[in-house]
Amino acid sequence: MLVDTGACERNVHLCHHGRSEPGCGDCAVRPISVCSVLTLPELDQLEALSQHLTLDKGQTLFGQGEPADFVFNVIEGCLRLTRLLPDGRRQVMGFALPGDFLGLALQERYTVSAEALGHVRTCRFDREDFAAVTEANARLLKSLHDRARFELTLAHDQMLLLGRRTAEEKVAAFLLSLKDRFARIGHNSVTVELPMGRQDMADYLGLTIETVSRMLSRLDRAHSILLVPGGVRLLDQDRLERLAAS
Amino acid sequence: MLVDTGACERNVHLCHHGRSEPGCGDCAVRPISVCSVLTLPELDQLEALSQHLTLDKGQTLFGQGEPADFVFNVIEGCLRLTRLLPDGRRQVMGFALPGDFLGLALQERYTVSAEALGHVRTCRFDREDFAAVTEANARLLKSLHDRARFELTLAHDQMLLLGRRTAEEKVAAFLLSLKDRFARIGHNSVTVELPMGRQDMADYLGLTIETVSRMLSRLDRAHSILLVPGGVRLLDQDRLERLAAS
DNA sequence: CGAATTATTGATTCTCTTCAAGCCGTGTGG
DNA sequence: CCACACGGCTTGAAGAGAATCAATAATTCG
């Protein structure tokens, strides 16, 4: 069944690694990516298999249902991972930030679509090539496995949120978790950037866009947060944490 | 914060492997467990580290927040994996069946409680011991990783269900997925056993017990299913699949 | 058998959705 | 420069689906 998946331009910018541009050794996200466990020789090996790939806002990295030929490291920017039901209902499974690896939950085909929420840079590998490297390198496999296990706990957290939390709690928990994620990649601030739109937040939290907007307004009115263009300032983190109550 | 976690008896039956009882080589769930990738000598090594552990209905294998000292293979029976919020709201993260491995999403402490829904037999390993074996055996690590990735896709499915499906769709999807899981472990029948109670189903699906009961009654009245003691007979699987619409 | 637990069903309430309108920042072209 | 359109966001009013409250029925278990 065909469904309108929105913007799907694929005129992405691709470039093979050349001697002139900085390689894996200088990669900005290396310390926080799966590659952090690799030695320099191993990095060289991997680098030979990698291609940089750049997307602009709205472009699709891969689409749900397509053959899963590639895996990716996110270097810069933010992507939205969505799953679509035949009738158009949408669930955002997550947002990928720099350092994230895309391709853990892969079967033969992508089960989600990945779309750029702004300018995005990724490092792409042929899935088979990457699998071969993984097969031969126990440390890399362990690193991927640790990520998969961590992703699993995140997914469990999200299941609890979707199943048992109120709209206000969902929004509060979302803002806090986003703050934590940004903190982990070095972007530490009480003002949390929101690279995604309200509809994306809604589809991530199992709500409607109107409810998300209302809850943000409510939190703003209660001076728990301050809505600013492109983001949110967390004013009363204690209260938010009490709401998010894990 | 302390919360009543219900039945917590720990008088579980423990037994070291002895020569007289059947070992890993004859294990009923070996072909469907993580152990399926191991050679016989490797199985012997693992067997030396294993203890059988038996629980009766209502007993707790491990509790949320406790130090995660052990990992488990489920040999027989069904367990409920729950996470509790401080205020008592509960989310059932999943049900473990024979062949399932418990301990993928582990950090230092268990993030869920595991309770027996009936008579349960498990194979227990010290977490450190098991980690050492995993570390040294790439095939086992790969097997665990594949399981983790599969669990991740299941978690994603559940997120979609919790976030975007109606009560009736949730119940229909649950019955079908349970049927599939039983089929995969050899228990193939149009009559699906329901080892868990209505409250467990409700907490798994993000509903209340009353809503689950109502939806089951509705499906029964529509002759899509037939409610039988301890289970459900799937009469109109097509209609269920249309409802579950993935 | 009788008590306790679990499940079903009905009546009512409430949270979130749906429908609808208006607002705001941005970009565009006359 | 301003009118206008467009997309994203907010806000309000009405409606629906599931929760809650309450009572009864069916099972399980001692």
Question: Which among B83, B107, B138 has CB closest to A141?
Answer: B138
From chain B, pick out residues whose CB is under 8 angstroms from the CB of A159: 91, 93, 155, 158-159, 162
Which stretches of chain A sit within 8 Å of chain B by CB?
83, 85-87, 89-91, 93, 104-107, 111-112, 135, 138, 141-142, 144-145, 148-149, 151-153, 155-156, 158-160, 162-165, 203-206, 245-246
Residue A240 has pLDDT above 60, yes or no: yes
Sequence-ordered list of residues with C-beta below 8 angstroms from that of B55, at least 6 positions apart, any chain: B12, B13, B61, B77, B116, B119, B120, B121, B122
Query: Tokens 């029964």 sit at which residue?
Result: B220
CB–CB of B159 and A158 under 8 A? yes
Nucleotides of D under 7 A from a protein CB: 8-13, 17-22, 27-29
- Closest CA in chain B for residue A134: B142
- Nucleotide nearest B229 (Cα, C1'): D27
- Closest CA in chain A for residue B207: A163
Show the tokens assigned to A132: 């071969």
User: If you average pLDDT over residues B147-154, what whole number do you get?
Assistant: 96
CA gap B2, A230 in Å, rounded: 40
CB–CB of B105 and A153 under 8 A? yes
CA gap A29, A49 in Å, rounded: 17
Residue B145 has pLDDT above 60, yes or no: yes
Distance B219 CA to C14 C1' (A): 26
From chain B, pick out residues whose CB is under 8 angstroms from the CB of A87: 245
pLDDT category at B13 given cuts 50, 70, 90 is low
Q: How many CB atoms lie within 10 A of CB B75?
A: 20
CA gap B223, B227 in Å, rounded: 10
pLDDT for residue A8: 46
Average pLDDT, chain A: 91
Element housing A217 (H / E): helix A209-221
pLDDT digits (tens, 9 = 90+) for B176-230: 999 999 999 988 889 999 999 999 999 999 999 999 999 999 999 999 999 999 9
* pTM (two decimals): 0.92
Q: Read off the DSSP letter of residue B67.
A: B
Show the tokens assigned to B154: 């299941």
CA gap A97, A239 in Å, rounded: 26
- Nucleotide nearest A163 (Cα, C1'): D18
Percent of chain B with pLDDT over 90: 86
pLDDT for residue B197: 97
The answer to whether A198 CB is within 7 Å of strand D is yes
Sheet holding A120-126, edge to edge: A13-16, A50-55, A120-126, A70-76, A101-102
Q: Read off the DSSP letter of residue A135.
A: H
pLDDT category at A18 given cuts 50, 70, 90 is very low
Lowest-pLDDT choice from A64-68, B15-19, B77-81, B154-158: B15-19
User: If you average pLDDT over residues A145-156, what whole number do you get?
Assistant: 96
pLDDT for residue A10: 53
pLDDT category at A12 given cuts 50, 70, 90 is low
Residue B19 has pLDDT above 80, yes or no: no
Show the tokens assigned to A98: 């720099």
Instruction: Give the CA distances from residue A113 to residues A45, A64, A195, in Å, rounded to whole numbers and listed in that order.
Output: 29, 5, 17
Partners of residue B79 on adjacent β-strands: B96, B116
| 3-class DSSP state of A20 | coil
CA gap A81, A96 in Å, rounded: 7
Residue B1 has pLDDT above 90, yes or no: no
Question: Which among B91, B135, B141 has CB closest to A159?
Answer: B91
Query: From the candidates A92, A145, A146, A211, which should be mutated to test the interface with B, based on the most B CB atoms within 10 A?
Result: A145
User: If you average pLDDT over residues A91-103, what whole number do you get?
Assistant: 97
Show the tokens assigned to A180: 């934590």
pLDDT digits (tens, 9 = 90+) for B97-144: 999 999 998 789 999 999 999 999 999 999 999 999 999 999 999 999
Sequence-ordered list of residues with C-beta below 8 angstroms from that of A193, at least 6 positions apart, any chain: A182, A187, A230, A231
**Cβ proximity of A201 and A192 under 8 Å:** no
User: If you average pLDDT over residues A205-213, what whole number do you get?
Assistant: 98
Which residue from B101, B105, B117 is spatially nearest to B7, judged by alpha carbons?
Answer: B117
Q: How many CB atoms lie within 10 A of CB B183?
A: 12
CA gap B105, A149 in Å, rounded: 5
Q: Which is it for the CA torsion A223, A224, A227, A228, positive or negative?
A: positive
The answer to whether B83 CB is within 7 Å of strand C is no
Query: Phi and psi (nearest 5°) for A50?
Result: -95, 155
pLDDT for residue A230: 93
From chain B, pick out residues whose CB is under 8 angstroms from the CB of A142: 135, 141
Q: What is the CA radius of gyration of chain B?
A: 19
pLDDT digits (tens, 9 = 90+) for B60-100: 999 999 999 999 999 999 999 999 999 999 999 999 999 99
Domains of chain A with bracketed CATH: 13-154 (2.60.120.10), 166-244 (1.10.10.10)
pLDDT for residue B14: 65
User: If you average pLDDT over residues A55-63, what whole number do you get?
Assistant: 95
pLDDT for residue B7: 42
Which stretches of chain B sit within 8 Å of chain A by CB?
83, 85-87, 89-91, 93, 104-107, 111-112, 135, 138, 141-142, 144-145, 148-149, 151-153, 155-156, 158-160, 162-165, 203-206, 245-246
pLDDT category at B25 given cuts 50, 70, 90 is confident
Lowest-pLDDT choice from A2-11, B54-63, B112-121: A2-11
pLDDT category at A47 given cuts 50, 70, 90 is very high
pLDDT for residue A14: 64
- Nearest chain B Cα distance for residue A189, angstroms: 27
pLDDT for residue A188: 85
